[in-house]
Amino acid sequence: MPIAMQSLHYRIAPLDVHAHLFEVTCTLADPDADGQRFRLPTWTPGSYLIREFARHFVQVAASCNGMPVAITKDGKDSWQAAPCTGPLAVVAQVYAFDLSVRTAYLDATRAYFNGSSMFLCPVGREGVRCLLDIDPAFADALPGARVATSMRRDGAAAWGYGRHVATDYDDLIDHPVEIGTFATDSFTAGGVAHDVVVTGARGVDLARVSRDLARICQWECDLFGGAANSAAPFDRYIFLVMAVGDGYGGLEHRSSTSLLCKRDDLPREGESAISDDYQTFLGLAAHEYFHSWNVKRIKPAAFTPYDLSRENFTRQLWVFEGITSYYDDLALARSGVVAPERFLELIGRTLTNVLRTPGRHLQSLGDASFDAWIKFYRPDENSPNAGVSYYAKGAIVALALDLLLREHGSSLDALMRELWRRHGAAGAGVAESEVAELASSLAKADLADFFRRHVEGVEDPPLAAMLANVGVTLTLRAGEGARDRGGKPASLVPPPASWIGAKYPASGEPRLTHVYRNGPAARAGLSANDSIVAIDGIKASSEGLAATLARAGPGTRLAIDAFRRDVLMHFDVVLEAAPDDTAFLTLTNDIGKDMLQRRVAWLGA
Ligand code: ZN
Q: What is the DSSP string of 312-336?
A: ---S-HIIIIIHHHHHHHHHHHHTT
Residue type, position 541, single letter = S
Find the 405 Cα to ligand 1 centroid distance in Å. 23
Strand boundaries in 135-278, DSSP class E:
146-148, 152-153, 162-166, 177-180, 183-189, 192-199, 236-244, 249-252, 256-262
| Mean pLDDT along residues 576-602 | 95
- What's the CA gap between 423 and 494, in Å, rounded? 53
Give the C-alpha distances (Å, rounded to integers) separating 428 from 121, 220, 293, 299, 413.
Answer: 24, 22, 14, 8, 21
Question: Residue 307's pLDDT band (boundaries 50, 70, 90)?
Answer: very high
| pLDDT band with cut points at 50, 70 and 90 for residue 2 | very low
254-305 pLDDT, tens digit each:
999 999 999 999 999 999 999 999 999 999 999 999 999 999 999 999 999 9
CA torsion angle 81 123 295 355 (round to 10)? 50
Percent of the chain with pLDDT over 90: 93
Scanning 64-147, the segments in alpha helix (DSSP H) are 137-141
| pLDDT at site 228 | 65
CA of 318 relative to ligand 1 center, distance in Å: 10
pLDDT (0 to 100) of residue 1: 40
Give the Å distance between the CA of 501 and the centre of ligand 1: 30
For the ranges 12-26, 123-137, 228-242, 362-376, which has the lowest average pLDDT? Answer: 228-242
- Averaged pLDDT, 506-532: 96
CA 289–ligand 1 middle distance (angstroms): 9
235 CA to centre of own chain: 23
pLDDT tens per residue, range 187-219: 999 999 999 999 999 999 999 999 999 999 999
pLDDT of residue 4: 59
Give the rounded percent of residues in the chain with a pLDDT score beyond 70. 99
CA of 249 to the centre of ligand 1 (A): 9
Q: In angstroms, what is the span from residue 595 Cα to ligand 1's centroid? A: 32
Ligand 1 midpoint to CA 384 (Å) = 20
Instruction: Tell me the C-alpha distance between 141 and 135, whole Å.
Output: 11
At 134-165, the pLDDT tens digits run 999 999 999 999 999 999 999 999 999 999 99
Q: What spacing in Å lies between the alpha carbon of 392 and ligand 1's midpoint? A: 11
Query: For 380-384, what is the mean pLDDT?
Result: 96
How far, in Å, from the CA of 291 to the mean position of ligand 1?
A: 7
Q: Are 173 and 216 in contact (CB under 8 A)?
A: no
pLDDT in tens, 396-433: 999 999 999 999 999 999 999 999 999 987 778 999 99
Side chain identity, residue 502 = A
- Cα of 369 from ligand 1 centre, angstroms: 13
| Averaged pLDDT, 220-236 | 84
pTM of model > 0.85: yes
Give 320 Cα–ligand 1 centroid separation in angstroms.
7
Ligand 1 is a single-atom ion; what residues have CB below 5 A from it? 321
Question: 587 CA to middle of ligand 1, Å?
Answer: 28
- pLDDT score, position 327: 98
Q: What is the pLDDT of residues 435-489, one digit of tens each?
A: 999 999 999 999 999 999 999 999 999 999 999 999 999 999 999 888 899 999 9
User: How far does the centroid of ligand 1 lie from the alpha carbon of residue 435, in Å?
Assistant: 18
